[in-house]
Amino acid sequence: MIVMQRFYRISRYFLPVMFFGYVPFANLAVYEHPGGKLAAFDMAALRGTVTHSFDTLYKTAMPHREPSIGVMGAARYLLIGEGRQGVVVGRDGWLFTSEETRPLPASLQPSVAKIAEVRDLLAIHGTKLIVVPLPAKVDVQSAHASVPELSAEMAGFYADLLANLNAAQIEAVDARTPLVELVKSKPAFFATDTHWTLDGAAAVAIAVANSGLIPLGAADMTRTEEPKADFAGDLVSYVTTEGIAPMLGLDREDANPYVVAAPADTSDIFGAAQVDVVLIGTSYSANPHWSFAEALKLDLHQDVLNAAEPGLGPVKPMDKYLASESFRDTPPKVVIWEIPLRYLTDPKLWDGHKIGQELASAD
């Protein structure tokens, strides 16, 4: 530990020296690159021509592009405490997604109305919708955030969402309360990643089971540990490269995932029994590193079909599932919809969503 601390202190001086030593060499190489002459300075420069020229040249002509970007990013992080667009630098090596800094919508009603449409379509098929809104990392881990006002704003936004869902008679589970309680003893989110820890996922799974909204099963579920996962947080790339990150105190993350299964039903000679609970959502649910679906299986004492998908947000996986043969042929009793709060600030969240039309045709 002492050696690493000493290395970290040295790196705070060594990396800027590397950066400033590299700049003359890089700029000379850029200048000598074919087409490497900057636009002449005139009034157009004031409108960004020269800035654009610099940006283009550095992207196309800089030697050792990847290492140089990593060094310059490290220098920026150490000298001014910033990363590239997409990340907000917090305290003590914590990083937050800039998606949590987007302006809040004037009203939650449009999104709540869309969620209600999904609830109503599911109800036609005898399926109950349970919404699990996930609070912002900058709210739950506010002690590591650099802007207290933003943490407070996202906490208020979460409370507003729960109130709006309740007013629309949409059943929801408060995921913020157990996560805020958890951080008193251990992190609910990873320091350099957008996502929750296994402890965070497990805390919310317990809240779902204890909500009384889903009948508990009676299966004796079996937990099996998976190999330890070691990874660079998804926010690190907005600061520097994976190789340089540990020198800045942005250490690699690790998780101990597990899988959960019910005992084999030897009486079912025609195949797997129908699963009554389906989980839909984002990478918080889809990524096996966090074991959220597995935690739900443990606490609900029954199998859970994981239909979440990474990289698509919360709406597209829901639309995809509702259009699937699996849903049409064997609709479940319950659908759990995991929705990270920050997506509700995205003005394009519901683009392409057609549940309202399907609901009208069902009538």
List phi, psi (to 5°) of 225.
-70, 140
Contact by Cβ (8 Å): 59, 68: no
Radius of gyration from C-alpha coordinates of the chain: 24
Other C-beta atoms lying within 10 Å of the C-beta of residue 301: 15
pTM of the model: 0.81
Give the span between the Cα atoms of 206 and 114, in whole angstroms.
Answer: 27
Residues 6 or more apart whose CB falls under 8 angstroms from that of 167 comprise none
Q: Is 268 noted as a catalytic residue in this protein?
A: no
Comparing 47-51, 85-89, 106-110, 220-224, which segment has the lowest mean pLDDT?
A: 47-51
Euclidean distance between the first and final Cα of the chain, in Å?
Answer: 65
Instruction: Read off the pLDDT of residues 157-203 as tens digits, 9 standing for 90 and up.
Output: 999 999 999 999 999 999 999 999 999 999 999 999 999 999 999 99
Instruction: Read off the pLDDT of residues 222-273 as tens digits, 9 standing for 90 and up.
Output: 999 999 999 999 999 999 999 999 999 999 999 999 999 988 765 555 555 6
The single residue of 142, 283, 285, 291 carrying the catalytic annotation is 283
List phi, psi (to 5°) of 6.
-65, -40
Residue among 230, 221, 228 nearest 294 (CA): 221
Beta bridge partners of 128: 334
Give the span between the Cα atoms of 1 and 6, in whole angstroms.
Answer: 9
HEC assignment per residue over 77-94: HHHHCCCCCCEEECCCCC
- Overall average pLDDT of the 139-144 stretch: 98
The single residue of 144, 151, 195, 276 carrying the catalytic annotation is 195
DSSP letter (8 states) at residue 283:
H
Residues 6 or more apart whose CB falls under 8 angstroms from that of 114 comprise 315, 350, 353, 355, 356
Q: Is 92 noted as a catalytic residue in this protein?
A: no
- Overall average pLDDT of the 332-342 stretch: 99
Give the span between the Cα atoms of 217 and 138, in whole angstroms.
Answer: 35
The single residue of 68, 111, 142, 193 carrying the catalytic annotation is 193
- What per-residue string of b and e applies to 107-121 under the rule 16 or more CB within 10 Å gives b? ebeebbebbbbbbeb
Rounded-to-5 percentages of helix, strand, coil across the chain: 50, 10, 40
More confident residue, 274 or 210: 210
Residues 6 or more apart whose CB falls under 8 angstroms from that of 128 comprise 122, 171, 213, 333, 334, 335
Q: Is 319 noted as a catalytic residue in this protein?
A: no
Residues 6 or more apart whose CB falls under 8 angstroms from that of 354 comprise 319
